[in-house]
Chain A
């Protein structure tokens, strides 16, 4: 089983619908992240959390919200999806004790907003 698991892997929805992407990890890491991948733009940080009581906005947080339900779970919500939120979304984790910042990624959730 993957250390970082994302659900769903694929989702097609309509404009205005609420969507939740879920992430769970078995690595025991404190730090969790949500990134968005668009062609040619690399990965951009949406939100990150350094522990259960810590939530921080990334560079593109508008239109998104997150919840850190437990050390192992970090979910991303789109309250009212719009077509330009069509993208590939990645959850990632890192170890507080690793001072290099290496990230461990899930396999991605592909979201299409019609």
Chain B
């Protein structure tokens, strides 16, 4: 079956530090890949996505590249802000199963001033 593995948190950083959150996946086909973000007290919202190998998704200074050879979709941001404190979820969609999403366990990120 499909699965998503992401690094456990919490990740604690200082403002302006570089952030990387690792995500690897297992899938039978060619999934689309997503990063969702959950700010405190809110629902999940899409941060970025990539639909095929070598695609790069980007938004709000975050980037992730779909690497089929390493089955990875690592999230990066060059200079984090306090407002980036949130829980980040990596996910994949399986077209063969009606595009249902499979989520990783989430990584909590805390950015300190």
Q: How large is the interface on A (under 10, 10 to 19, 20 to 34, 35 or more residues)?
A: 20 to 34
Q: Are A100 and B105 in contact (CB under 8 A)?
A: no
Whether A94 sits at the interface, judged by CB under 8 Å, is yes
What residues of chain A have their CB less than 8 Å away from a CB belonging to chain B? 4, 33, 35, 40-45, 48, 50, 58, 90, 92, 94, 99-108
Residues of chain B from 10 to 43 with CB closer than 8 A to chain A in the complex: 32, 34, 36, 42-43
Whether B53 sits at the interface, judged by CB under 8 Å, is no
Residue from A58, A94, A108 in contact with B43 in the complex, judged by beta carbons closer than 8 Å = A108
Q: Are B106 and A101 in contact (CB under 8 A)?
A: no
Q: Are A40 and B106 in contact (CB under 8 A)?
A: yes
Q: Are A101 and B44 in contact (CB under 8 A)?
A: no
Q: Are A42 and B104 in contact (CB under 8 A)?
A: yes
- The A/B interface has a contact count, at CB < 8 Å, of 61
Q: Are B44 and A105 in contact (CB under 8 A)?
A: yes
Most chain A beta-carbon neighbours within 10 Å: one of B32, B36, B51, B99:
B99
Q: B96 to chain A: closest CB distance in Å?
A: 11
Residues of chain B from 74 to 113 with CB closer than 8 A to chain A in the complex: 89, 93-95, 98-101, 103-106
Point out the residues of chain B lying under 8 angstroms from A107, CB to CB.
42-43
Residue from B32, B89, B104 in contact with A101 in the complex, judged by beta carbons closer than 8 Å = B32
Q: A76 to chain B: closest CB distance in Å?
A: 15
Q: Are B45 and A105 in contact (CB under 8 A)?
A: yes
Residue from B8, B43, B93 in contact with A105 in the complex, judged by beta carbons closer than 8 Å = B43
Q: Are A42 and B89 in contact (CB under 8 A)?
A: yes
Q: Are A100 and B100 in contact (CB under 8 A)?
A: no
Q: Are A103 and B101 in contact (CB under 8 A)?
A: yes
Q: Are B98 and A90 in contact (CB under 8 A)?
A: no
